[in-house]
Amino acid sequence: MRDPIRTQRLGAYAVVIDGDRILLTRISPVGYPAGAWTLPGGGVDHGESPNDAVVRELYEEAGLHALSTRLVDVHDVHVVGPAQDERYEDYHGVHLLYAVEVDTTQQPQVIDVGGTTDVAAWVSIADVGSAVRPILPKVEHAIAHRGRFAAQAGGGV
């Protein structure tokens, strides 16, 4: 067996909770894993601040403007196995999770059409994992700790 290719990725993700619903995005067929539901967000570009990345990604993937952001938590995932392109990979994803406030009267819509997100939607938290699935572990983590994301609204963009 060959040695896996080591990959580490830093991402910034928006946890937007409005009462009993959460803002989620679905990974498009060009993304990985296609069809899975996740939080709006993604990779931090070289030289980009993570706060700027979460604001940018939220707009690209859901068409919503952040009114405030607050870094709340860090989640990570470590997987060794076949990657999207069938390489054997030792992948470590580090996810910065931000509590983000938006205008909750706005309907989310994907701005970056043709990218790695094909749907953005408000989803009932009760439906996550049952009617809305599959979901990525960072979504489960955010929901399990949702009190941290809802408390202390405010902060700087």
Q: Which two tokens stand for residue 69?
A: 């952001």
DSSP 96-116: EEEEEE--TTSPP--SSTTSS
* Number of CB atoms found within 10 A of residue 22's CB: 24
Q: Which two tokens stand for residue 153?
A: 């609204």
**Higher pLDDT among residues 76 and 151, named by residue:** 76
For residues 5-28, average pLDDT: 97
pLDDT band at 3 (very low <50, low <70, confident <90, very high): confident
Q: What is the per-residue pLDDT for 155?
A: 53
Nearest to 77 by CA among 62, 63, 90: 90
Domain boundaries, the chain: 5-150
Q: Which CATH number fits domain 5-150: 1.10.3720.10, 3.90.79.10, 3.30.420.10, 3.90.1150.200?
A: 3.90.79.10
Exposed, middle or buried: residue 147 (CB in 10 Å: 0-12, 13-18, 19+)?
exposed
Q: What is the per-residue pLDDT for 153?
A: 47
Q: What is the pLDDT of residues 51-88, one digit of tens each?
A: 999 999 999 999 999 999 999 999 999 999 988 777 89
Q: What is the per-residue pLDDT for 2?
A: 75
Q: What is the per-residue pLDDT for 82?
A: 86
* Number of CB atoms found within 10 A of residue 30's CB: 12
The one-letter amino acid at 106: Q
Exposed, middle or buried: residue 20 (CB in 10 Å: 0-12, 13-18, 19+)?
exposed
Q: What is the per-residue pLDDT for 8?
A: 97
For residues 91-113, average pLDDT: 97
Average pLDDT, the chain: 93
What is the enclosing helix (H) or strand (E) of 78? strand 68-82
